């Protein structure tokens, strides 16, 4: 039976979701609410048979929707989740971050108590094939993780509707907006919750010459974060958002007492200069501590799936799994609790960098 998505927000990321929903056999983009006219026009090309609503209240009143997808600007997620709690409950896939202000923690906890249907927080990075392969193999290679290092060197924040992502008040700050993916991966890989966070960061290059009604963007473009966990593991994040010339966008390294395993993940293929030939293929590198043999192997992604988005196919694989939740065959793999922790860690990193103090949980 075809499942009908109700989609709230259809900007840049929303349209990536649309392209991937179009690849899912048992799902359709049934109804869409997107207030921006230009984004509406683009969405209609991807979902010509969808109903387009001109208000949130109208799409919420459509009783034919089987599941919800929230892809609106970050600062709207909390209010929209609470509005969904006031109508018949259906499974929700909500884009990260789950909320943007730490003062909303009680609101999201109250929502989790009241909402009876499954809620999946969209953490696409878990489902990038090279990262999924890294996680699957890491114990056999490392003998058990001791240290985790995540490095992202990428391009600046892209323009979005009304440039909402240029300001911390809308995005939650870079460590929440961008890095919640990495904090989620840290908890997933270590299997533990953080005890303390230390960070340094700031705005060095990007968006400093932009001006919006007299306001200069305050979104950070680089930083370092160190995290300690309950099980005594340690992790580090290095972020640079003015390194668009890098061959690989993400480099993730897991090290234990028997070896090291690394994933190398290129950025969106559409940004790769054609004069350099074919874009890089994601790869895994295995390095046993006893030097019994360095091994490298590619982790290619199906071309059609790769073409549908900027996240190495992960949006497609995420929707595949979410459809199993909608069908009642499994529970969400990324829970509200996961989404809460990702925001808490991002916010703690921002606070640590601003105050120069360690943040303890």
Specify which residues 152 forms β-bridges with.
Answer: 239, 250
- pLDDT at position 293 is 86
- pLDDT at position 166 is 96
- pLDDT at position 221 is 98
Q: How far apart are CA 271 and CA 248, in angstroms?
A: 12
The CATH number of 3-123, from 3.40.50.10330, 1.10.20.10, 3.30.70.141, 3.40.50.720, is 3.40.50.720
pLDDT digits (tens, 9 = 90+) for 107-142: 999 999 999 999 999 999 999 999 999 999 999 999
pTM for the whole thing? 0.96
Domain residue spans in the chain? 3-123, 125-309+333-360
Q: Is the domain defined by 125-309+333-360 classed in CATH 3.30.360.10?
A: yes
**Beta strands, E only, the chain:** 3-8, 27-33, 51-53, 67-70, 92-95, 119-122, 145-153, 194-202, 222-229, 234-240, 250-256, 259-265, 283-288, 295-298, 359-360
> Is the per-residue pLDDT at 245 higher than 90?
no
pLDDT digits (tens, 9 = 90+) for 316-346: 999 999 999 999 999 999 999 999 999 999 9
Cis peptide before 59 (omega within 30 of 0): no
Q: Name residues whose C-beta falls within 8 Å of residue 35's C-beta, 6 or more positions apart in sequence.
A: 54
Percent of the chain with pLDDT over 90: 96
- pLDDT at position 148 is 98
pLDDT digits (tens, 9 = 90+) for 260-318: 999 999 999 998 998 999 999 999 999 999 988 899 999 999 999 999 999 999 999 99
pLDDT digits (tens, 9 = 90+) for 89-101: 999 999 999 999 9
Sheet holding 359-360, edge to edge: 295-298, 283-288, 259-265, 250-256, 145-153, 234-240, 222-229, 194-202, 359-360
Q: How far apart are CA 49 and CA 51, in angstroms?
A: 7
Dihedral angle computed from the Cα positions of residues 66, 72, 74 and 78, in that order, rounded to the nearest 10 degrees: -50
- pLDDT at position 1 is 87
Q: Are 179 and 344 in contact (CB under 8 A)?
A: no
- pLDDT at position 291 is 87
* pLDDT-based confidence at residue 103 (cuts at 50, 70, 90): very high
């Amino acid at each position: 039976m075809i499942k009908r998505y109700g989609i709230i927000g259809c900007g840049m990321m929303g349209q990536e979701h649309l392209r991937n929903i179009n690849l899912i056999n048992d799902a359709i983009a049934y109804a869409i609410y997107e207030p921006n006219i230009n984004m509406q026009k683009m969405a209609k090309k991807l979902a010509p048979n969808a109903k387009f609503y001109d208000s949130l209240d109208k799409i919420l009143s459509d009783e034919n929707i089987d599941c919800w997808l929230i892809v609106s600007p970050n600062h709207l997620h909390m209010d929209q989740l609470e509005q969904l709690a006031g109508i018949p409950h259906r499974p929700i896939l909500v884009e990260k971050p789950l909320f943007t202000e730490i003062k909303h923690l009680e609101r999201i906890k109250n929502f989790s108590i009241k909402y009876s249907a499954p809620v999946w927080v969209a953490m696409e990075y878990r489902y990038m094939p090279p990262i999924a392969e890294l996680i699957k193999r890491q114990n056999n290679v490392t003998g058990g993780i001791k240290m985790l290092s995540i490095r992202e060197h990428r391009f600046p924040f892209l323009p979005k509707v009304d440039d909402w992502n240029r300001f911390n008040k809308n995005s939650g700050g870079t460590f929440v907006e961008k890095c919640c993916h990495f904090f989620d991966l840290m908890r997933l890989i270590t299997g533990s919750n953080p005890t303390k966070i230390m960070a340094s960061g700031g705005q060095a290059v990007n968006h400093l010459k932009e001006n919006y009604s007299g306001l200069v963007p305050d979104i950070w473009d680089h930083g370092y974060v160190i995290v300690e966990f309950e099980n005594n593991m340690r992790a580090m994040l290095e972020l640079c958002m003015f390194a668009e010339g890098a061959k690989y966008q993400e480099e993730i390294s897991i090290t234990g007492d028997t070896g090291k395993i690394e994933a190398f993940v290129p950025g969106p293929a559409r940004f790769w200069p054609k004069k350099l030939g074919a874009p890089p293929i994601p790869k895994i590198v295995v390095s046993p501590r006893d030097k019994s043999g360095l091994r490298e192997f590619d982790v290619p992604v199906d071309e059609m799936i790769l073409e549908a988005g900027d996240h190495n196919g992960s949006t497609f694989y995420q929707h595949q799994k979410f459809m199993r939740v909608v069908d009642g065959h499994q529970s969400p793999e990324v829970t509200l609790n996961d989404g809460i922790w990702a925001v808490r860690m991002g916010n703690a990193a921002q606070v640590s960098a601003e105050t120069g103090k360690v943040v303890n949980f």
